[in-house]
Amino acid sequence: MTPSLQRLTIVGLGLLGGSVARAARTRRAAAEIVAVGRTPGPLAAARAAGVVDRTTTDLAEGVGGADLIVLCAPVGALPGLVRAAWPHLAPGAVLTDVGSVKGAVVAAAEACPSRDGVVFVGGHPMSGSERSGFEAAQADLFVGRLTLLTPTARTPEAAVARVSRFWETLGSQVRLLSAEEHDRAVAAVSHLVHLAAFALVAAAADDALALAGPGFQDTTRVAASAEALWTDIFRGNRTPLLDALADYRARLAEWEALIRDGKWEALEAELAQARKRREKLG
């Protein structure tokens, strides 16, 4: 199979960037894979592993000449990276990202001067791990997972198609939605869920934690995630997260009242509804 991309550049070789590199190499998504990083460690590791052809710490050099550039940096750094990369992109290049929050980065790209058919398409693979760093990167991280793309009314279809094809090559299914819809939905199914898991651990006393069984382990697995990354995400999605948190706290308050008042049938009906919705997810 001929790779559909001539040159793929990945900016940032953490868990996600490293996994994109490994997956792209394994699945021959590009003839050449270039990595841009700030520190030499992950870049050297990626070269040694053979998952990238060339690395650089110079953003302008790394993104120049690529037909697809994937920004794999923390959410808070993405708008600045879009602005910094933009003047150095080759004509017709498509820039995308893997950030968990889309509003700010999409807005930053929309504010960049129009030039040479360069296009930004916001992206977010719904994959991850409580682990971080290049050493945790996996070639199959995206297989069978959704990747969400957030084109705007102005995004050319060909650019969306290029990014969609890329994620499909990596084993992912692609869905399109607006940045606003994205940020509201992931606030509920990802950001709040992390916050809730961190809070379950924080609220448990040490003697109780010592008795934790498999249910607690599963429910709080994501609370082993890197706090700096998640603070950055919560900050980037502040308003939708506050909305989702308010809905959640209201639900807990209602159920607390049912328990306090001994309304067990009503509580059981609520739990049944949640159980049925959860079972549909498999």
Query: Per CB under 8 A, which of residues 32..51 are in contact with its own copies?
Result: none
Q: Which of residues 48-107 bind its own copies (CB under 8 A)?
A: none
Q: Number of residues in contact with its own copies, rule: CB under 8 A?
A: 86
Q: How far is the CB of 131 from its own copies (least distance, A)?
A: 11
Residues 126-145 that bind its own copies (CB under 8 A): 126-128, 145
* Only segment of 48-56, 88-96, 113-121, 239-247 that touches its own copies (CB under 8 A): 239-247
Q: Which is nearer to its own copies, 153 or 211 (CB)?
A: 211
**Binding of residue 252 to its own copies (CB under 8 A):** yes
Q: Which is nearer to its own copies, 150 or 155 (by Cβ)?
A: 150
Among positions 28, 38, 115, 235, the unique one binding its own copies when judged by CB under 8 A: 235
Q: Closest approach of Cβ 42 to its own copies, in Å?
A: 22
Listed residue (5, 185, 169, 34) closest to 101, CA to CA? 185
Instruction: Give least dist CB 120 to its own copies, A.
Output: 21
What part of residues 169-208 is at the interface with its own copies (CB under 8 A)?
Answer: 175, 181, 184-186, 188-190, 192-208
CB of 77 to its own copies, least distance (A): 15
Question: Which residues within the stretch 260-279 sit at the binding site for its own copies (CB under 8 A)?
Answer: 260, 262, 264, 267-268, 270-275, 277-279
